[in-house]
């Protein structure tokens, strides 16, 4: 199975800051990577798919990059509603796997 | 508007069985793969299973293979997760989700509100 490792596990930031979250795959997954946001008590929401494609309706302050084994999610100009937990997910091969999550907290 | 509504969760004893349902609306159900993803209390996300739009292809996580089955009734716009030989570690909120792209089995969006399954004696 492909292991997905996110870093950091948690990060504190302020409204208006720029934040970057990293996801590393245990083997080459090309661009088969997605990012999800989960607010407390809510279902996850797809932000980015195919490593860098913005899902419809998602604000442009969210962006994704990378290919192969190393990927990043960047949130520019943090808004109050962005404080949540973020997960990466690989879709290169079954079984699909998620990273352990990165909790973005208000500083 | 796409809606996914899960049902069937509850308390079940170890070794028991449970069937989850997910009623879908707002899209051409038979054109989209459907998945189940679970989240144990206070933990991260774990993909469980996916079924193609026609139902001809299914895949499972190793942790549930041989114990869970996934099926769909395209006439009822409903996908099912039949869970048997349940274990304490199957305790989780189970989310139903669809692929946002027709005829693909890769991404998950949107998601239902989830249904809680508790395996305990």
Residue among B38, B44, B48, B95 with most chain A CBs within 10 A, to mutate? B44
CB atoms within 10 A of CB A59: 13
Q: Per-residue confidence of chain A (107 residues) as pLDDT tens digits?
A: 999 999 999 999 999 999 999 999 999 999 999 999 999 999 999 999 999 999 999 999 999 999 999 999 999 999 999 999 999 999 999 999 999 999 999 88
pLDDT of residue A81: 95
Q: Mean pLDDT throughout B32-54?
A: 97
| Phi-psi label, residue B114: left if phi above 0, alpha if psi -120 to 50, beta otherwise | left
* 8 A C-beta contact, residue B12 and residue B20: no
Classify residue B109 by its DSSP letter: -
Q: Does A102 lie at the interface with B, CB-CB under 8 angstroms?
A: no
List the B34-39 sheet strands across, edge first: B10-12, B115-119, B92-98, B34-39, B45-51, B58-60
pLDDT of residue B115: 98
Reduce the secondary structure of chain A to three states and give it as a string: CCCEEEECCEEEECCCCCEEEEEEECCCCCCCEEEEEECCCCCCEEEEECCCEECCCCCCCEEEEEECCEEEEEECCCCHHHCCEEEEEECCCCCCEECCCEEEEEC
**pLDDT > 90? residue B7:** yes
Q: Mean pLDDT throughout B90-111?
A: 94
pLDDT band at B104 (very low <50, low <70, confident <90, very high): confident
CB atoms within 10 A of CB B15: 11
Mean pLDDT value across chain B: 97
* 8 A C-beta contact, residue B117 and residue B12: yes
Q: Mean pLDDT throughout B3-12?
A: 98
Name the β-bridge partners of B92.
B117
pLDDT of residue A79: 96
Q: Please report residues of A whose CB lies closer than 8 A to that of B50.
A: 94, 96
């Amino acid at each position: 199975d492909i292991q997905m490792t996110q870093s950091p596990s948690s990060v504190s930031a302020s409204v208006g800051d720029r934040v970057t979250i990293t996801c590393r795959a245990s083997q080459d997954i090309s661009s088969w990577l997605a990012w999800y946001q989960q607010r407390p008590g809510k279902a996850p929401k797809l932000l980015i798919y195919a490593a860098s494609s913005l899902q419809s309706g998602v604000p442009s302050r969210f962006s994704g990059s990378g290919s192969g084994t190393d990927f990043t999610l960047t949130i520019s100009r943090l808004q109050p509603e962005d404080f949540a937990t973020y997960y990466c997910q690989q879709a290169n091969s079954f079984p699909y796997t998620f990273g352990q999550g990165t909790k973005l907290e208000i500083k | 508007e796409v809606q996914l509504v899960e049902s069937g969760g509850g308390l079940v004893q170890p070794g028991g069985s449970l069937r989850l349902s997910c009623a879908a609306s707002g899209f051409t159900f038979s054109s989209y793969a459907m998945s189940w993803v679970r989240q144990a209390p206070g933990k991260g996300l774990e993909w469980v299973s996916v079924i193609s739009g026609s139902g001809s292809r299914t895949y499972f996580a190793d942790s549930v293979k041989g114990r869970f089955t996934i099926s769909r009734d395209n006439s009822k716009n409903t996908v099912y997760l039949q869970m048997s030989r349940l274990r304490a570690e199957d305790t989780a909120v189970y989310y139903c989700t669809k692929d946002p792209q027709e005829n693909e089995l890769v991404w998950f969006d949107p998601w239902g509100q989830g249904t809680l399954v508790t395996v305990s004696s």
